[in-house]
Structure 1
Amino acid sequence: MSVLASADREDVPSHAIDLSALSQSSTRLSLDRESPCINVRGFNLFYSEKQALKDINLVLPEKRVTAFIGPSGCGKSTLLRCFNRMNDLIDGVRIEGKITLHEENIFDKGVNVSELRRRIGMVFQKPNPFPKSIYENVAYGLRIQGVNDRRTLDAVVEKSLQSAALWDEVKDRLNDNALGLSGGQAQRLVIARAIAIEPEVVLLDEPCSALDPISTLKIEELIYELKDRFTIIIVTHNMQQAARVSDYTAYMYLGEMIEFTDTSTLFTNPSQKMTEDYITGRYG
């Protein structure tokens, strides 16, 4: 029975999740039938003596959208940054456990971290286009890899901007400075830059938090289109957004993975009371 439809529960706050927003596909999904992409086992992370992630275990399916939800400070973004080892840049970070990408341990000593970050791209909360032309922003990753053939670059730039639903808006001003784009356009440009080098995974850390509703809708539509090509993991404080865009959802609290299942089940029939309390607005 849906936690939101239970007649014997106290009234649900008005900001509780709208079940009509749930992805239609999520009702037919099962983790048992998915191909694994990222596997997290017994994972702990410490900032000096403070433990930020506690015994995380989950398998993230390939070419699906997984959302991480939970209150501020619960460890969502910290876990996300582990997947491409962005936390390596923070002094005092210590880890235990294992994370694999297609069965390769990303923390093995022989791992090329630059190559890992090519395979797992990331888009941050605030759009961060480079102070270059729109064209050179998208071509940047390819140039770093030594690709300088103009025809190749032209084709990839156009394809990436089309995939990011930005081509029609910028095709006549590719040489303009990217810093002149609106917030929503800049975020789509950053996504185009990330996918231009064909990563296996795209990490989105609250990609719509600084955007207006119309720009947010465009990003959400883009996420839906891109999941046919990429595994997408999104951190969001917006539960309506998680319901709209994700196939699977993980709820975290104080560094622990409380529940992880298909999005429809998590929002309509969660197995943990803590999850139910959060999604119905009783706290968080």
Structure 2
Amino acid sequence: MALPIEAAGGEQGVGALNIARMDDYWLGGRHHREVDRDFADRVAITAPYVPYLVRAQRKLLRRMVRYLMDQGVRQFLDLGSGLPTAGHVHEIAQDKDPAARVVYVDRDSSIVDDCHQLLAGNDNAALLDTDIREPGTVLDVLRARCLLDLSEPVAVLAIAILQHIPDSDDPAGMITAYLDATCPGSYLALTHYGPDEHLMTGITMFSQMKFGRPPDVTFRDRTSVALFFSGLELVEPGIVPIVDWRPDPTDDPGINPERHPIFAGVGRKP
């Protein structure tokens, strides 16, 4: 979900800034506004490594999608997708196979129009303006509109979204509901922020500097992240820091890649 953020002074709503537009700014996209850029720069003051992590996750997404394509997957369900720009799933997949089908799911009203414009004319990519926490509704729409063929393998993507869903909303049950609707040979690919003292310090500084209220985040350790893959066959190298998941030879892992506070993993439904 392209979560809205409460800025100092309580600005919210359709015109409010949100994570999706901030990510687009850090990724070098064009679908952000001055308020998003200003807020993103404030985040970078208190947590200067966050823009790097956003870019590292986009590189990871590229590797994951290419890996899934190599396994024969041609359908993708991207949960909490944000803006489909700056090298997003449909661009990666359709570069290899123009017939690959991608459905983005995001309920944030402030980006819906942009999303539809970005996907206009692409018959194999669509956006569902639906809450990902309601898998029954999402799946009903997929079936009714014939957007994906659930009798064929589907890759369910949950990139940088599950940490924004608290345990009270049962994110593991949500993921299970999506996977239960898919056939054997389908996949789950996800990233998730783990506990990290530097991130916690950044969040505390953000509040202390009166930049506004940061989004609510639930950090989960590797053991908790592994629960999302229950019943699946983990793809090598398992659940690892994002820079360690099947890196390209030209990728720069940076210093101490094991300290990157984001886990990544892919699992196959047997």
TM-score, length of structure 2 as denominator length: 0.31
Higher RCO by CA contacts (8 Å cutoff, separation 6 or greater): 1
TM-score, length of structure 1 as denominator length: 0.30
